Amino acid sequence: MTNVPTFLNYIDGEWCASLAGATFDNVNPADTRDVVGRFQASTEADALAAVRAASSAFGAWKRLAPAARAKILLDAAAYLEHHADRFGEELTREEGKQKALAKDEFVRAAQTLRFYAVEAQSYGSETYPSDDAGMMVYTVREPLGVVTVISPWNFPVSIPARKIAPALICGNTVVFKPASDAPLSGLRLAEAFVEAGIPKGVLNFVTGSAGAIGSALVGAREVRAISFTGSTAAGEQIHRAASLSTRTQMELGGKNPLIVLDADDIDRAVDLTVKGGFSLAGQACTGTSRVLVARAIRAEFVERLAARATALVVGNGMTPGVDVGPLATAGQLRTVLDYIAVGMKEATLVCGGEQLKHGEYAHGYFVMPTIFSGVPRDARIAREEIFGPVIAVIDVDDYDDAIAVANDSEYGLAAALVTRDAQLMHRFANDIEAGTVKINRTTTGNLVNAPFGGLKRSSTATFRESGRNGLEFYLQTKTVYRGA
């Protein structure tokens, strides 16, 4: 193993090694012989140093003119866009997604920074009528303080960008911990802010395992808010561990349904299922994982879906023409293969169902796009998040039955209906228990200028992320009574 670059933490304005001096390696999931980088295996001492730095920097950053904060976001956006090709290739190497999608993620992160640079300069407060003519009553909105940002590996730039940008522009300071399985893209995001001249301590970047630094980042006395995206299990644990005075925003798992009821909609539904369920190898929180199909059209739907799924090209995301990349981690590969084994007992395997191990696949985490049909409603593969290229096709009788099955889930992240019936479109938007409702679109995908989040165990039932709503989490309100 030669020339593996070592990457540092960024704490209190300095790129620095972990105090304990330990590191960990991150490998390419398409070819595990390729070591992408060596990262700091930080300890609690590093995490607490980052929190202290963020706390010390807060006062001055809060007082800085909003336009000066915005300039830093705009310059960071320009840096990300300028380097999007190179950073995108690094993202493909560390996480597996196709090169074009990886580059798009950096471009989208830049868009997010620009959106908040402008949007946050226009939030207002309110004045209130008062019986006392000599008294003015109004609210002021101010930042919270130190915010911990914890992100997953599946969107290692765009997700932290939509947390860090609103946090900073509102005047908060940040400690950012990326996923240990894709830390380099997060580092590039931090680097963009450093290159844009962010003052020391305002943004701190710390790599290391959740076990080693998670509790310090969640439990430190100075932390006023935690914005987390990841698994429901971890999110619920962090939410419970946070103190009463620490705000939490948890964006968690999903088991997202797509519904198709009419024979004339089959081709469109197949297309949306393939795109929503198999792109990113099924590793999107909003990925289509259940397809609820009217019994009368199920055979035809499954036949056409299987034809499309088996034609997908699985391979290294760096190779042009690849439709489905590898699973991102060894753990994810094990989980997906375990669920496929469960599915074999619960339902009928239509296609896929195997790990690819020969030739170009020998050193990567590749699984064939997999479809199960005749999946019982209470099957584990119908109810639990798999987070891989595995789709469960479930029979339904009609629209009402489809809604009942769709809503019979602990999750409520995204859902889609394929239909040309305008009445049904409106009914669906009202009936479905999901934070993101799609009609004739994939369950995946959301805009940087629109709110995003889930219902039930897919999110904390408090603040939405993204768009103008995304600012609310990072601001608190004071009411001022000003006498003459």
98 vs 373 by CB, closer to ligand NAP: 98
If one asks whether residue 229 binds ligand NAP (CB under 6 A), the answer comes out as yes
The pair of structure tokens assigned to 146 is 């130190």
CA 130 to chain centre: 45
Nearest Cα to Cα of residue 280 among 383, 381, 369, 151: 369
Residue 216: CB minimum distance to ligand NAP, A: 9
Question: In angstroms, rounded to a whole number, what is the distance separating the alpha carbons of residues 177 and 151?
Answer: 7
Q: Hey, how many other C-beta atoms are within 10 angstroms of the C-beta on 323? A: 18
CA-nearest of 338, 441, 438, 431 to 390 is: 338
Query: Using CB under 6 A, which of 237, 319, 335, 407 touches ligand NAP?
Result: 237
Q: How far is the CB of 24 from ligand NAP (least distance, A)?
A: 9
| Near ligand NAP in 249-278, by CB under 6 A | 251-254
Query: Residue 11: helix, strand or coil by DSSP?
Result: strand
Q: How far is the CB of 374 from ligand NAP (least distance, A)?
A: 26
Q: Check binding of 101 to ligand NAP (CB under 6 A).
A: no
Per-residue tokens: 91: 């993202």
CB of 2 to ligand NAP, least distance (A): 26
Q: Based on the shown chain and the rule CB under 6 A, indicate whether residue 347 belongs to the binding site for ligand NAP.
A: no
Give the 3-state secondary structure percentages of the chain, helix then strand then coil, rounded to 5.
40, 25, 35
- Please choose, out of 50-58, 112-120, 151-159, 292-300, the segment that lies near ligand NAP by the rule CB under 6 A: 151-159
Span interacting with ligand NAP, options 8-16, 36-44, 232-240, 388-396, rule CB under 6 A: 232-240
* Three-class SS state of 227: strand
111 touches ligand NAP (CB under 6 A): no
Return the residue of 152, 171, 219, 317 that touches ligand NAP, per CB under 6 A: 152
In angstroms, what is the minimal distance from the CB of 167 to ligand NAP?
16
Please state at what angle helix 99-119 crosses helix 66-82, rounded to 10 degrees: 170
CB nearer ligand NAP, residue 260 or residue 285:
285
Mask: binding to ligand NAP, 35-74, rule CB under 6 A, as x and -?
----------------------------------------
* Whether 445 contacts 155, CB under 8 Å: no
Tokens of 147: 């915010």
Q: Give whichever of 210 and 404 is closer to ligand NAP, judged by the CB atom.
A: 210
Task: Assess whether 90 carries a catalytic annotation.
Answer: no
Single-letter code of the amino acid located at 477: T
Does 285 engage in binding with ligand NAP (CB under 6 A)? yes
Residue 15, helix vs strand vs coil: strand
Q: Confirm or reject binding of residue 317 to ligand NAP (CB under 6 A).
A: no
Window 69 to 98, contacts with ligand NAP (CB under 6 A): none
d(CA 190, CA 424): 45
Among 11, 50, 76, 234, binds ligand NAP (CB under 6 A): 234
CB of 213 to ligand NAP, least distance (A): 8
**Judged by CB under 6 A, does residue 238 bind ligand NAP?**
yes
3-state DSSP assignment of residue 97: coil
Bridge pairing between strands 9-11 and 127-128: unpaired
Task: For ligand NAP, give the closer residue by CB, 396 or 434.
Answer: 434
Q: Which listed residue (119, 251, 346, 465) is catalytic?
A: 251
Considering beta carbons, is residue 119 or 385 the nearer one to ligand NAP? Answer: 385
∠ Cα 444 449 455 (to 5°): 50
* Interface stretch with ligand NAP, choices 6-14, 115-123, 149-157, 289-297 (CB under 6 A): 149-157
Q: Are strands 366-367 and 390-396 parallel, antiparallel or unpaired?
A: unpaired
Distance (Å, rounded) from C-alpha 172 to C-alpha 202? 8
d(CA 391, CA 58): 46
Map residue 203 onto helix, strand or coil. Answer: strand
Contact 278, 309 (CB under 8 A): yes
Q: Is 228 or 399 the residue whose CB approaches ligand NAP more closely?
A: 228
Within residues 387-406, the interface with ligand NAP by CB under 6 A covers: 387
Our CB check for ligand NAP shows the closer of 252 and 274 to be 252
DSSP state of 70: H
The contact mask relative to ligand NAP for 185-214 (x = CB under 6 A, - = no) is ------------------------xx---x
Give the number of other CB atoms < 10 A from CB of residue 30: 26
For residues 149 and 10, give the distance between their C-alpha atoms in angstroms, rounded to a whole number. Answer: 14
Per CB under 6 A, 218 contacts ligand NAP: yes
Residue in 32, 56, 125, 231 binding ligand NAP, rule: CB under 6 A:
231
C-beta atoms surrounding 442 within 10 Å: 22
**Residue 409 sits in the site that holds ligand NAP (CB under 6 A):** no
Pairing of strands 475-482, 136-143: antiparallel
How many residues sit close enough to ligand NAP to count as binding (CB under 6 A)?
Answer: 31
What does the binding site for ligand NAP look like in residue numbers (CB under 6 A)?
150-155, 159, 177, 179-181, 209-210, 214, 218, 229-231, 234, 237-238, 251-254, 285, 385, 387, 413, 454, 458
Just list the catalytic residues: 251
